[in-house]
C-alpha cells in the first residue's frame, strides 16, 4: 500500500512545487529575488547533472566547470561570429561538452581510483588556459553576446522559466535513471565495482554514459547562462565555483538520490545569500563582498563535509573500492 | 652554439626547481597513495610569504626560502593530522576532497590578502653571471641550488635514516610494516611534513624566476603532476630526472614558442601522457621509493 | 620471558556490525606448544589471528596474555610483550634489501642500535642464506627464500608467541616441507605457536592441540595425544561438512 502511494505523493508534491514556482515567477515583483531563484535553479541543474555519475556511480567528477564553460563558449562563439542565437545552439553547447567528456572519459573511466577526478580537474585548467590563449575565444577580452530586446523584468522571468523547465527536465531524467537498469548498474558500480563487473554490468560503458549525460546538461546550462549574462570570459566561464558547488550541494542534500540536489542546491544558494548580506552588513570587506569570501567559505565547507559528513560521503563514494587494503 | 648551451644550462636549472615542486607530490603519492591537490596552493603560499617577508622586513628571498622550508615541515604535519589522517581509511576521494577544499581556501586567502596583481620575487644581487662563456640567470642558479639541496636532504633522510627506512617499508607494503610495529600514522605525518617542506622550497624557488598571481598555482600543480607521471613513483631520482627533462624541453621550446603556449603544451603533454601511462595515477601501480 | 597462556574468551568480531565472523570463540594457546586451528574456508580462522593481533577490534569478549588483558593493545606493544604475527601471503618489502627488511623487523628496538645489531647477528647466524644475500632486494628472492626472510624477520625480536597464518599458501609444493620444518624448529626452541592452516596433514604433524572452527564457532577441540591412532583421519571426519 505504502509502496504504491509514495510515488503518487512525490508526484503530487512535485506538481505543487512546480506550480508554486510558476506562480512565484509570474507574481514576484523584486527582480533581485527572481534573480536568486534563477541562480538556485541553475544550481539544481548542475547538481543534478553531476549527480548522475557522482552520486549514483560514485565517481568524483571535478570537471563541471569545464563542461559548463565549454557549453558557454560554444554558443558565444557561434553568436559572436555567425549571429546564431544561443536558444537554438544551446543543444550544440551540450553536445560539445559530451564530445570532450568522451575524449576524457574513455581512457580514464576504464580504470578506477582518483585518476578520473584528477583528469577532470586538469581538463578544467587546460580549457581555461586555452580560452585565455587561442584567438577564437578572444582571450581575456571575453565575448559579448547579442542581448535580447526585452525589458529587465521580462528577461528575468524568461530565464526563470527556462531554468525551471530545465531543472524539471533534468530531475525527471535523473529520476527515470534511478529506477532504470542503467541506474541500478551505476549504484552497483558505486557499491562494488568488481561484483558489478562479475554480474555482467558493462562498467566502463555505464560510467561513460552517466558521464556524458551529466556533461550534456552541464554544457546546456552553461550555454543558456551565457545568454542570460550576455558576456563571458575565461575566469567566469571556467570558475572553480561551478565545480565545487555541485559537489557540496549534492552532499548536503544527499548524493545518489534525485531529491538530494533539489534540497541541497537551494539550501547552499540561500546560505550564500545570507553570508553575503551578513558580511556586507558588517562591512568587514567593505561594502561589496569579494567573490573570494564565498569561495573561501565554500572551501571550508568542503573540508568540513569531507571530514565530518562521512556517512554522507560514504553515501556518495563506494565503500572499499580502490581503497588501501587493510590487513 | 653558445645560446644553445645557455638554453640547456638554464633548462636544467629550471628543471631542478620543477623537481623541488614535484618531489613532495611524488612522495605523498608514492608512500601514502594520496594525491595532494593542495600541494601547489601550499607552494604558492610559500611564495607569498617570501614576498611579504621581503617587502615587510627586507628578508632576503634565499633566507626566506630556508625558513619557509623548515616552517612548512611543521605546517605539513599539522595538515596531515587535521585533514588527512581522519579520512585515511575512507576511500581516497574523501582525502582528495578535503585537500581540494584546502586548496580553495588557501587560494582564496591569497587573493583576498594580496589581490590578483602579479608579483615578483627578485633575487637581489645581479641579474645574470657569466660562467665560462654561458650567461646564467642568478635567480635560476640560486633557486636551482636551493632545490637541489632540499631534495638531497630529503633523499638522504629516506635512504639512510631509520625513520626513512620505515617510510620506505611503509611505501613498499603498508600492512606488513604495521604488523612489525611500525607506527605508520606517525611516519605518514612525517612524510607529509617533508612533502610540504619541499612544496615550500619549490614555491619560493618558482617565485624567484617567474612572476606569479595566486591562480598560477594551478599551472604549478599541473606541472608537478606531469613530472610525477612521467617520472613514475620510482623514487626521487626518477622524479628529478623527469623534472630535468621537462625543464630542458621547456627551455628549448621557450626559444621558439610564445610564453602562454608553453603551458598549453604542458597541459596537452600531460593529458597525452596520462593516456599512455594510465597506471601512473591509478593507485594500483607498484609503489616504490 | 616467562611462558604464558594466550587466551581468547567469548570473542565476537567481524567486518560489519551486524554479521560477526566470530560468534563467541573460546581458545587457549598453551606455552611452548603448537596449537593448530583448522576449518573450512570462510570459517573465521584467519579472523581469529587478526583479532588476537589487534588488527581487528573485538565487539565482545576479551583476549588475555597470562593475567593481562591485551585486546586493544597497539601492535608495537604486543611485539614488546613477545607476540609476533606472520600474515598469509607475501609480506616482504620487495624494494628494500634483505638487510633493510630485517632491520624494519627490529623496529620496536627504536634507536637502540646495539640491540638491533645483536639481533641481526643472531638471525644471520641462524639463516646463513640470508646473510649471503643481505644486500639483495627482497623482491629478487625466490618465493621460498622470501618466506624464510619473513620468518627470520618475525623472530628478529625474539618473540615468545608466534601467530602464523597459512604459512604454505602460495608456495611451490617442494618448498612447503621446508616451511614446516622451520616451524618445527621454532617450536623445539620453546616458542609458543598458534598455527592457522588449510594444510591439514602438515599442521597436524606439528600440533599439540587442535581446534576445529566452523561458522565462527569452535566445533571441536582436543589434545592430539588423546587421539588414538589416525589423528588426521579423525580431524578429516570433523571437517567433513
pLDDT band at A313 (very low <50, low <70, confident <90, very high): very low
Region of A319 (left: φ > 0; alpha: ψ -120 to 50; beta: rest) is beta
pLDDT band at B245 (very low <50, low <70, confident <90, very high): confident
| Position with higher pLDDT, A296 vs A75 | A75
- What is the value of pTM for the model shown? 0.81
pLDDT band at A287 (very low <50, low <70, confident <90, very high): low
Q: Which of B165, B173, B176 shows the shortest C-beta gap to C103?
A: B165
Each residue of A96-119: pLDDT tens digit? 999 999 988 887 787 666 678 878
In the numeric block, the cell 627482497 is attached to C138
Which residues of chain A have a CB within 8 Å of the CB of C50?
Answer: 327
pLDDT band at A51 (very low <50, low <70, confident <90, very high): very high
Which residues of chain B have a CB within 8 Å of the CB of A302?
Answer: 97-98, 100-101, 104
d(CA B210, CA B10): 13
Which residues of chain B have a CB within 8 Å of the CB of C79?
Answer: 180-181
Q: What is the pLDDT of residue A323?
A: 35
**Minimal CA separation from C149 to chain A, in Å:** 19
Scanning A206-245 for CB atoms below 8 A from B yields 240, 244
Q: Does A327 touch chain C (CB under 8 A)?
A: yes
B169 vs C92: CB contact, 8 Å cut-off? no
Q: Which of B172, B182, B289 shows the shortest C-beta gap to C107?
A: B182
d(CA A24, CA A104): 41
**Minimal CA separation from C108 to chain B, in Å:** 6
| Position with higher pLDDT, B165 vs B4 | B165
Q: Does C92 touch chain B (CB under 8 A)?
A: yes
B197: exposed, middle or buried (Cβ count in 10 Å: 0-12, 13-18, 19+): buried
Q: Which of C78, C96, C107 shows the shortest C-beta gap to B168?
A: C96
| Position with higher pLDDT, A299 vs B129 | A299
Q: What is the pLDDT of residue A207?
A: 93
pLDDT band at B221 (very low <50, low <70, confident <90, very high): confident
Q: What is the pLDDT of residue A282?
A: 59
**ipTM of the shown complex:** 0.88
In this complex, the chains that touch C, judged by 3 or more CB pairs closer than 8 A, are A, B
C-alpha cell at C143: 618465493
Rounded to an integer, the average pLDDT of B174-185 is 92
User: pLDDT at residue B264 above 80?
Assistant: no
| Position with higher pLDDT, B90 vs C113 | C113
Which residues of chain A have a CB within 8 Å of the CB of C55?
Answer: 326-327
Q: What is the pLDDT of residue B150?
A: 94
d(CA B34, CA B228): 13
| Position with higher pLDDT, B235 vs B68 | B68
Each residue of C88-129: pLDDT tens digit? 888 999 989 999 999 999 999 988 999 999 999 999 999 999
In this complex, the chains that touch A, judged by 3 or more CB pairs closer than 8 A, are B, C
pLDDT band at A327 (very low <50, low <70, confident <90, very high): very low
Q: Does A126 touch chain B (CB under 8 A)?
A: yes
First to last CA, chain B: 38
Quick one: closest CA in A to B116, which residue?
Answer: A292
User: pLDDT at residue C2 above 70?
Assistant: no
Rounded to an integer, the average pLDDT of A244-271 is 82
Each residue of C179-203: pLDDT tens digit? 999 999 999 999 999 999 888 888 8
B179 vs C93: CB contact, 8 Å cut-off? no
- The chain C residues in contact with chain A (CB within 8 A) are 50, 55, 87
Q: What is the pLDDT of residue C203?
A: 86
Q: How many CB atoms lie within 10 A of CB A20?
A: 10
User: pLDDT at residue B127 above 70?
Assistant: no
Rounded to an integer, the average pLDDT of A81-86 is 87
Q: What is the pLDDT of residue A326?
A: 36
d(CA B235, CA B240): 9
**Minimal CA separation from C233 to chain B, in Å:** 35
pLDDT band at A315 (very low <50, low <70, confident <90, very high): very low
Query: A138-143: which pairs have CB atoms within 8 A and are 24 or more residues apart?
Result: A138/A80, A139/A234, A140/A233, A140/A234, A140/A235, A141/A233, A142/A231, A142/A232, A142/A233, A142/A234, A142/A236, A143/A73, A143/A76, A143/A77, A143/A79, A143/A80, A143/A231, A143/A232, A143/A233
A118 vs B260: CB contact, 8 Å cut-off? no
B173 vs C91: CB contact, 8 Å cut-off? yes
User: Would you say C100 and B165 are in contact if contact means Cβ atoms under 8 Å apart?
Assistant: yes
**Minimal CA separation from B264 to chain A, in Å:** 7
pLDDT band at B274 (very low <50, low <70, confident <90, very high): low
Rounded to an integer, the average pLDDT of C72-91 is 90
d(CA B193, CA B189): 6
Q: Does C96 touch chain B (CB under 8 A)?
A: yes
How much is the mean pLDDT over chain A? 83
pLDDT band at A133 (very low <50, low <70, confident <90, very high): confident
C-alpha cell at A289: 563582498
Quick one: closest CA in B to C154, which residue?
Answer: B180
Query: A276-285, B49-58, B176-185, C58-67: which has the minimum mean pLDDT?
Result: A276-285
C-alpha cell at C151: 620468518
Q: How many CB atoms lie within 10 A of CB A148?
A: 15
pLDDT exceeding 70 applies to what percent of chain C? Answer: 93
Rounded to an integer, the average pLDDT of B174-181 is 92
In the numeric block, the cell 573570494 is attached to A292
pLDDT exceeding 70 applies to what percent of chain A? Answer: 87
User: pLDDT at residue A277 above 80?
Assistant: no
Query: A154-168, B61-75, B122-136, C146-160: which has the minimum mean pLDDT?
Result: B122-136
pLDDT band at B95 (very low <50, low <70, confident <90, very high): confident
Which residues of chain C have a CB within 8 Å of the CB of A327?
Answer: 50, 55, 87
Scanning B166-195 for CB atoms below 8 A from C yields 166, 168-169, 171-173, 175-183
B98 vs A306: CB contact, 8 Å cut-off? yes
Each residue of B159-173: pLDDT tens digit? 999 999 999 999 989
Q: What is the pLDDT of residue B1?
A: 62
Q: What is the pLDDT of residue C227?
A: 65
Quick one: closest CA in C to A326, which residue?
Answer: C55
Number of cross-chain residue pairs from A and B with Cβ atoms under 8 Å apart: 158
pLDDT exceeding 90 applies to what percent of chain C? Answer: 44
Scanning A10-69 for CB atoms below 8 A from B yields 60, 62
Number of cross-chain residue pairs from B and C with Cβ atoms under 8 Å apart: 60
Q: What is the pLDDT of residue A196?
A: 86
Query: A1-10, B261-270, C35-44: which has the minimum mean pLDDT?
Result: A1-10
**3-state SS string over chain A?**
CHHHHHHHHHHHHHHHHHHHHHHHHHHCCCHHHHHHHHHHHHHHHHHHHHHHHHHHCCCCCCCHHHHHHHHHHHHHHHHHHHCCCHHHHHHHHHHHHHHHHHHHHHHHCCCCCCHHHHHHHHHHHHHHHHHHHCHHHCHHHCEECCCCCCCHHHHHHHHHHHHHHHHHHHHHHHHHHHCCHHHHHHHHHHHCHHHHHHCCCCHHHHHHHHHHHHHHHHHHHHHHHHHHHCEECHHHHCCCHHHHHHHHHHHHHCCCCCCHHHHHHHHHHHHHHHHHHHHHHHCECECCCCHHHHHHHHHHHHHHHHHHCHHHHHHHCCCCCCCCCCC
Q: Which of B179, B181, B288 shows the shortest C-beta gap to C87?
A: B179
Q: What is the DSSP letter of C153?
A: H
Number of cross-chain residue pairs from A and C with Cβ atoms under 8 Å apart: 4
C104 vs B169: CB contact, 8 Å cut-off? yes
Q: What is the pLDDT of residue A275?
A: 72
User: pLDDT at residue A12 above 90?
Assistant: no
Domain boundaries, chain A: 28-240
**Sheet holding C60-65: strands in order across?**
C22-29, C6-13, C60-65, C68-69
Q: Does C115 touch chain B (CB under 8 A)?
A: no
User: pLDDT at residue A122 above 60?
Assistant: yes
d(CA A218, CA A67): 6
| Position with higher pLDDT, A250 vs C237 | A250
User: pLDDT at residue B54 above 50?
Assistant: yes
Q: Does C107 touch chain B (CB under 8 A)?
A: yes
C-alpha cell at C179: 616451511
pLDDT band at A169 (very low <50, low <70, confident <90, very high): very high
Query: A49-53, A113-117, A205-209, B222-226: which has the minimum mean pLDDT?
Result: A113-117
pLDDT band at B259 (very low <50, low <70, confident <90, very high): low
Rounded to an integer, the average pLDDT of B273-283 is 54
Q: What is the pLDDT of residue A41?
A: 94
C92 vs B177: CB contact, 8 Å cut-off? no
How much is the mean pLDDT over chain B? 85
H-state helical runs in chain C: 45-52, 75-80, 98-105, 113-126, 128-132, 143-154, 173-188, 200-206, 231-239
SS3 state of residue B208:
helix
Helices B39-57 and B2-32, axial angle in degrees (round to 10): 120
In terms of average pLDDT, the best of A73-87, B1-15, B62-76 is B62-76
Amino acid at each position: 500500500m505504502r509502496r504504491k502511494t509514495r510515488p503518487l505523493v512525490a508526484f503530487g508534491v512535485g506538481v505543487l512545487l512546480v506550480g508554486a514556482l510558476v506562480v512565484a515567477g509570474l507574481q514576484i515583483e523584486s527582480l533581485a529575488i527572481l534573480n536568486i531563484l534563477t541562480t538556485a535553479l541553475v544550481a539544481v541543474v548542475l547538481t543534478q547533472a553531476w549527480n548522475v555519475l557522482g552520486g549514483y556511480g560514485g565517481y568524483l567528477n571535478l570537471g563541471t566547470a569545464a563542461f559548463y564553460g565549454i557549453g558557454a563558449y560554444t554558443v558565444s562563439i557561434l553568436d559572436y561570429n555567425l549571429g546564431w542565437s544561443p536558444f537554438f545552439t544551446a543543444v550544440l553547447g551540450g553536445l560539445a561538452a559530451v564530445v570532450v567528456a568522451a575524449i576524457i572519459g574513455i581512457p580514464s573511466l576504464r580504470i578506477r581510483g582518483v585518476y578520473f577526478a584528477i583528469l577532470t580537474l586538469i581538463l578544467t585548467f587546460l580549457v581555461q588556459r586555452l580560452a585565455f590563449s587561442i584567438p577564437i575565444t578572444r582571450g581575456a577580452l571575453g565575448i559579448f553576446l547579442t542581448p535580447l530586446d526585452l525589458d529587465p523584468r521580462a528577461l528575468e522571468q524568461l530565464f526563470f522559466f527556462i531554468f525551471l523547465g530545465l531543472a524539471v527536465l533534468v530531475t525527471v531524467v535523473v529520476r527515470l535513471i534511478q529506477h532504470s537498469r542503467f541506474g541500478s548498474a551505476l549504484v552497483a558500480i558505486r557499491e562494488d565495482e568488481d561484483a558489478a563487473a562479475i554480474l555482467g554490468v558493462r562498467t566502463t560503458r555505464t560510467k561513460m554514459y552517466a558521464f556524458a549525460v551529466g556533461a550534456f546538461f552541464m554544457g546546456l546550462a552553461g550555454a543558456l547562462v551565457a545568454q542570460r549574462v550576455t558576456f563571458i570570459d575565461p575566469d567566469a566561464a571556467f570558475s572553480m565555483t561551478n565545480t565545487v558547488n555541485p559537489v557540496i550541494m549534492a552532499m548536503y542534500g544527499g548524493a545518489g538520490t534525485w531529491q538530494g540536489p533539489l534540497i541541497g542546491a537551494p539550501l547552499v544558494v540561500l546560505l550564500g545569500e545570507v553570508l553575503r548580506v551578513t558580511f556586507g552588513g558588517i562591512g568587514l570587506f567593505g561594502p561589496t563582498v569579494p567573490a573570494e569570501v564565498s569561495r573561501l567559505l565554500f572551501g571550508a565547507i568542503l573540508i568540513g563535509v569531507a571530514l565530518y559528513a562521512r556517512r554522507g560521503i560514504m553515501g556518495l563514494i563506494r565503500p572499499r573500492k580502490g581503497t588501501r587494503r587493510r590487513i | 652554439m653558445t645560446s644553445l648551451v645557455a638554453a640547456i644550462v638554464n633548462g636544467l636549472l629550471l628543471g631542478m626547481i620543477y623537481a623541488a615542486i614535484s618531489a613532495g607530490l611524488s612522495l605523498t603519492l608514492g608512500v601514502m597513495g594520496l594525491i595532494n591537490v593542495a600541494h601547489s596552493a601550499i607552494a604558492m603560499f610559500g611564495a607569498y610569504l617570501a614576498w611579504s617577508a621581503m617587502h615587510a622586513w627586507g628578508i632576503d628571498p634565499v633566507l626566506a626560502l630556508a625558513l619557509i622550508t623548515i616552517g612548512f615541515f611543521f605546517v605539513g604535519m599539522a595538515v596531515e593530522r587535521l585533514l588527512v589522517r581522519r579520512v585515511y581509511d575512507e576511500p581516497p576521494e574523501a582525502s582528495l576532497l578535503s585537500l581540494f577544499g584546502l586548496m580553495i581556501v588557501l587560494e582564496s586567502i591569497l587573493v583576498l590578502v594580496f589581490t590578483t596583481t602579479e608579483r615578483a620575487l627578485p633575487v637581489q644581487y645581479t641579474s645574470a653571471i657569466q660562467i665560462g662563456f654561458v650567461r646564467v640567470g642568478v635567480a635560476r642558479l640560486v633557486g636551482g641550488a636551493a632545490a637541489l639541496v632540499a631534495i638531497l636532504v630529503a633523499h638522504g633522510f629516506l635512504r639512510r635514516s631509520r625513520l626513512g627506512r620505515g617510510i620506505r617499508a611503509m611505501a613498499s607494503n603498508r600492512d606488513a610494516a604495521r604488523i612489525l610495529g611500525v607506527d605508520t600514522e606517525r611516519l605518514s605525518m612525517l612524510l607529509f611534513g617533508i612533502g610540504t617542506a619541499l612544496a615550500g622550497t619549490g614555491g619560493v624557488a618558482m617565485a624567484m624566476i617567474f612572476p606569479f598571481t595566486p591562480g598560477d598555482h594551478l599551472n604549478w600543480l599541473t606541472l608537478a603532476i606531469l613530472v610525477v607521471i612521467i617520472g613514475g613513483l620510482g623514487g626521487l631520482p626518477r622524479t628529478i630526472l623527469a623534472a630535468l627533462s621537462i625543464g630542458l624541453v621547456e627551455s628549448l621550446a621557450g626559444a621558439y614558442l610564445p610564453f602562454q603556449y608553453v603551458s598549453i603544451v604542458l597541459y596537452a603533454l600531460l593529458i597525452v601522457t596520462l593516456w599512455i601511462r594510465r597506471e601512473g595515477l591509478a593507485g594500483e601501480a607498484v609503489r616504490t621509493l | 620471558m616467562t611462558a604464558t597462556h594466550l587466551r581468547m574468551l567469548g570473542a565476537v568480531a567481524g567486518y560489519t556490525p551486524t554479521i560477526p565472523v566470530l560468534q563467541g570463540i573460546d581458545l587457549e594457546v598453551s606455552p611452548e606448544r603448537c596449537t593448530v586451528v583448522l576449518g573450512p574456508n570462510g570459517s573465521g580462522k584467519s579472523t581469529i589471528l587478526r583479532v588476537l593481533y589487534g588488527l581487528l577490534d573485538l565487539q565482545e569478549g576479551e583476549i588475555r596474555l597470562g593475567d593481562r588483558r591485551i585486546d586493544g593493545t597497539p601492535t608495537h606493544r604486543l611485539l614488546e610483550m613477545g607476540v609476533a604475527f606472520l600474515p598469509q601471503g607475501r609480506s616482504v618489502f620487495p624494494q628494500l634489501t634483505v638487510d633493510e627488511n630485517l632491520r624494519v623487523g627490529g623496529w620496536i628496538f627504536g634507536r637502540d642500535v646495539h640491540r638491533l645489531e645483536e639481533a641481526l647477528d643472531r638471525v644471520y647466524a641462524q639463516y646463513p642464506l640470508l646473510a649471503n644475500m643481505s644486500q639483495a632486494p627482497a623482491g629478487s628472492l625466490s618465493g621460498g627464500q622470501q618466506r624464510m626472510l619473513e620468518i627470520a624477520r618475525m623472530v628478529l625480536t625474539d618473540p615468545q608467541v608466534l601467530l602464523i597464518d597459512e604459512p604454505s599458501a602460495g608456495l611451490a609444493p617442494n618448498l612447503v616441507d621446508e616451511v614446516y620444518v622451520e616451524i618445527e624448529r621454532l617450536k623445539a626452541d620453546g616458542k609458543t605457536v598458534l598455527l592457522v592452516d588449510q594444510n591439514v596433514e602438515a599442521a597436524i604433524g606439528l600440533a599439540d592441540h587442535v581446534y576445529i572452527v566452523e561458522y565462527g564457532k569452535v566445533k571441536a577441540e582436543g589434545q592430539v595425544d588423546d587421539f588414538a591412532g589416525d589423528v588426521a583421519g579423525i580431524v578429516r571426519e570433523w571437517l567433513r561438512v
